[in-house]
Structure 1
Amino acid sequence: MNSPGTQVHHLDGVRILDLFAGPGGLDVAAHFLGFRSIGIEWDRNACETRYAAGLPTIHADVSVMRETRFDEIPKSVDVLAGGPPCQSFSVAGKGVGRKRLDRVEEFIHRLVGGENEARIDEDLHSLGDPRTALVLEPLRWLLKAIETEGRDPYKVIVLEQVPAVLPLWEVYAKLLRGGEGRLNGVKYEADFWELKTERFGVPQTRTRAVLVARRPGLGAVEPLETTHLPFELQRERRNASQAEMFPGSSLPTGRKSRWISMAQALEEASRQKDSRVKASRLRKDGEMKFFVVSNYGSGGDSKKRGRRLWSEPAFTVTGKISRNKVYKSMAEYEAEKPDRFTIPESGVLQTFPHNFPWSGNDQAQQVGNAVPPRLGMHVLSMALHSRPPTDEELTAATTWRTVPGTTTEELRHIGCGDLSQCPPKSHRITRSRRKPAP
């Protein structure tokens, strides 16, 4: 069992609270920027990955923590971050939230206006997908901090979601700038953008809606400066010679580098000491050459599967990445003998370190749900340092630290304790049926 002294040690100096923390995309980014964080995550499998990685975690529901356990959050926390679950707003899902943006905007104004929250919660249920309401949680956490004696408003707020949520981040930004209603005069400098991950060195095409807000006195919120060229999604408009070029031969154009390809990312990761990325099977004639057939439809046709070459960024890494098919030749394709990306390889395409200790079950889902750490480093560095991450910080972010088993157990005790406060049934053990011995 953990001693109180050990718990204080692990939570000492924590500045960032990561809501909906997942396996730790933003926390990994914070670590390499020199900041300590604590995450709240309800999925037990993601928590196991976080414990193995040495990331302080509370295994709980974000709403429950806010309503009944707010005092457990270290008072040193002055940065609120998070990416609420996106399924309700994603184009890959049913899109309940996406279709009801006007109603969600109405709820935001009702919250700040001081209407009874129980009534708001009752009306939220009418939206049909309970995950839609989670996009309001960051605002509720801010209001809780403002209205709780002995707590200060967060100095910085960083939020990310799928592009469909950008109109809601605009509403957030306007309210934060005004400081009216329950904000009680607390104002922020705030801005929001739609960011393409390949433009920040992430070897995949993925678009995110990001909001950054800072208290006055910390300086204006400046737009992020991209570091890489955009990737053209429409194959007929790509530069054919560039698409066929082996990644290592690409040259910077002006001040920006070409986007990072799958092969480049996986090749570099496989060369690291004790790498978990074993990419030799993807090489052909000594070079890494392959193509990927997506699990998702393309161009609005669910039966038409998109393709990407080894020399291009990956498709958006989702929880279904293990269903993408990888082929080294047309012969393999015609014979329907595909390979698959491993979990460490999928993590590298998300810019997690090559040796990140993925743990628990549903690891592909964990990888797909995460914020790409490299994008997180760019966002957090501008929000907290007012500068992009340095080359040294980005280079260091390719390898994860070794975490002793004792640290993992201590963090599991902090996060789960005796399991009584964890989400209901989250630790239920399914016993396999064994055949009697002959």
Structure 2
Amino acid sequence: MSTAPRQDVLYTPVRRLDFRPMSHIDTEDSSPADFHILDLFAGPGGLDVAADALGYRVTGIEWDAGACATRGAAGMDTFHGDVRKYRAAFFPRAQVLTGGPPCQTFTVAGHGAGRRALDQVLDYVGELHRVLRETEEQPGDPQAWLRIFRTWRGIHEELRRKELEAEAIRHEKRNLEQRRTEARKSMKGRLERQGASAKEIREFLKGLKKPRTIVLVDDELQDLLKVFVGLDDKLAELKDRLEELGDERTGLVLQPLWWVIERSRRPGSEPYEAVVLEQVPAVMPVWKRYVEVLSSLGYRTTTQLMHTEAFGVPQTRRRAVLMARFDRSDLPEGPGPGLLWPVPETHELYHRRGTFTRLPKANRSDTLFSEKPEHWISMEAALERAEKHSVKVRRRPPFSVVSNYGTGGVPEARGRRDHDDPSATITGKVSRNRVVHKETDKDLEDGLGRFNSAEAGALQTFPATYPWSGNDISQQIGNAVPPRLALHVLLHVLEPELDEKEAEARLERGIEELEAWEPKETVEPLRHRGLKGHPLTGR
């Protein structure tokens, strides 16, 4: 998740309400579809800038101050705040709902906290689905809606209670950790007064990871150790309790579903035309349960585990994507009743050992896009293209990127990719990755031994001129949706009526627009007071 919002970020107060596109490339052809998109958990704007390149209009809701600073500098229409403080009813003119709710790592296997959190979310979705089925014969009935709303309110209140309890436990945990630290310092001081050597003290402190195994004859040390062990036991209990309670992200992952339900079943509302949600692969079981609910609300759906390099992103990364389109008679035929075709791949799947395999065909038709996929895009190729648009992207000799974290849980086994490979997954630690001369461990000179923000952003397929701002820029980049992946998904879901040539031309034009995109106006992110008069609110 992104860091806590700050209140001291300054913005240039230039207000824009006419929803003019953010891209400023002159073009004769206009978008064949005009959509107003509401992007929940919008981040720094990965999906938004892709939507703009396709000619759609986007409003985002984002709580992180750093991401809002970037969005403001990019001219993106944004509400700064917690998604839970807003409602679907506030934005009746939004036609498309998108988002990537921050999630804990749901562990499918085992019986740990991740598995419990996953089960809890699936149970909540099931509870909402049950009340929808029980009231499906009463569309537009205020009493039916009241029952649905009360079910959601019960879930929300339970999550809020758990959140408050968890915060109290975290406060207690911090106090106990401070007391344990003091006990540790007292034991160290006692050993120093007894004349223990530095090595003996280090070994003793190292042994505190398993304090019950330590045997002492010194009474004062023994008393201090008992205090330490008691605090350790209490901390373990609090940790278990926190795992049982989960955290606020459990409620956040449910928000997009509730917004869809509200727009579908609240009297006087109309369903969203389309829904697009994405997250890490571990969230796929949640999306599949979402599909059951969306299908019952009249949507055609599909879920897809997407490998980013197979869609022209110079990076190996996997995303779990849910796509839904309200089922109207003019939609093209899908692969089966109530289904959408998955997004077709355009590039090869990367394999480190030099073998390449095309992903299984997942086309709307057997001939959509060329039969022969393009080669995946390397870091070098992506940076060379970005260099044409910004002096911040610098030319390098043949290089390797060495990640600052290990692979397979082994810190010494640093991940390594060469310049003619796609990048490994861009994370919030991208600024710490070393860029070295190929086949050596020697850092590049002249400040080229690290990627700057423009270069790291380019590997995520952001425009080279993207105005990264605010705090934790590396984390913003690492958390963002790769815009080029978003291009494929949005075009596929929002314009399924295009034939092969039209879709390919639209995609190519969108890629050109994305690469050449430049910010123009700085805008001030809005808060609740900005709802009045906003184009999506109808107020």
TM-score by length of 1: 0.78
Following the alignment from structure 2 to structure 1, what is the Cα–Cα distance between the partners of residues 489 and 440?
43
Aligned partner letter, 1:106: D
Label 1:52 to 1:82 Cα distance change in 2 as closer, same or farther (>3 A): same
Write the distance in 2 (CA, Å) between the matches of 1:277 and 1:11.
27
Cα deviations by residue, 1:30-80 (Å, 9 ceiling, x for unpaired): 1111100100000111111111111100001001112xxx5542x321101
Residue identity matched to 1:120: I
- Contact kept, 8 Å, 1:188 with 1:213, in 2: the verdict is yes
Which has the higher relative contact order, 1 or 2, with Cα contacts under 8 A spaced 6 or more apart? 2
Partner SS, residue 278 of structure 2: strand
Q: How many Å apart are 1:366 and its aligned residue?
A: 0.7
Task: Measure, in 2, the Cα distance between the counterparts of 1:61 and 1:306.
Answer: 36
Q: Which residue of 1 aligns with 2:383?
A: 266
Structure 1 residue aligned with 2:392: 277
| Alignment partners' CA distance in 2, 1:332 and 1:30 | 40
**Match in the other structure for 1:390:** 507
CA contact (8 A) 1:88 1:131 kept: no
Check the 8 A contact 2:37/2:56 in 1, yes or no.
yes
Cα deviations by residue, 1:262-308 (Å, 9 ceiling, x for unpaired)? 00000111123xx043322x22xxxxx10011122213423311110
Q: Distance in 1 between matches of 2:316 and 2:412?
A: 21
Which range is displaced more, 357-366 or 108-117? 108-117
Aligned letter for 1:192?
T
Q: Which residue of 2 aligns with 1:140?
A: 258
Aligned to 2:435: 326
Equivalent position to 1:216, from 312, 318, 327: 327
> Per the alignment, do residues 76 and 239 of structure 1 end up closer, same or farther by CA in structure 2, a change over 3 Å counting?
same
Pairwise CA RMSD of aligned residues? Answer: 3.0
Q: Give me the whole-angstrom Cα distance separating, in 2, the residues matched to 1:144 and 1:334.
A: 54
In 1, the alpha carbon distance for the partners of 2:323 and 2:458 equals 26
1:168-317 equivalence runs, <5 A: 168-177=286-295, 179=296, 186-217=297-328, 218-219=331-332, 220=334, 221-232=340-351, 235=352, 237-239=353-355, 255-272=372-389, 275-280=390-395, 282-283=396-397, 289-317=398-426
Tell me if structure 1 keeps the 8 A contact 2:19–2:57. Answer: no
Q: C-alpha separation between the residues in 2 aligned to 1:269 and 1:121?
A: 45
CA distance in 2, matches of 1:335, 1:264: 18
Please report how far the alpha carbon of residue 395 of structure 1 lies from its aligned counterpart in structure 2 after TM superposition.
1.6
Shift of residue 127, structure 1, vs aligned partner: 3.7
Structure 1 runs not aligned, ≥5 long: 180-185, 241-252, 284-288, 419-438
Greater gyration radius: 2
Q: What secondary structure sits across from 1:214 in the alignment?
A: strand
- Deviations along 1:88-145, one digit per CA (max 9) or x if unpaired, are 4499xxx944553222111101123246334323544354222132111111111222
Unaligned runs of 5+ in 2: 1-11, 22-33, 132-147, 163-243, 335-339, 357-369, 531-539
Query: Which segment is superposed worse, 47-56 or 294-303?
Result: 294-303
SS at match of 2:319: strand
In the alignment, which residue of structure 2 is the partner of 1:80? 97
What is the DSSP-based 3-state SS (H/G/I as helix, E as strand, rest coil) of the residue aligned with 1:37?
strand
Could you tell me how far 1:239 is from its partner in structure 2? Answer: 4.6
Give 1:14 shift.
6.3
SS in structure 2 of the partner of residue 102 of structure 1: helix
Alignment correspondent of 1:9: 18
Per-residue deviation, residues 192-219 of structure 1 (Å, max 9, x unmatched): 0100000000000000001111111134
Task: Name the CA distance, whole Å, in 2 between partners of 1:335 and 1:350.
Answer: 22
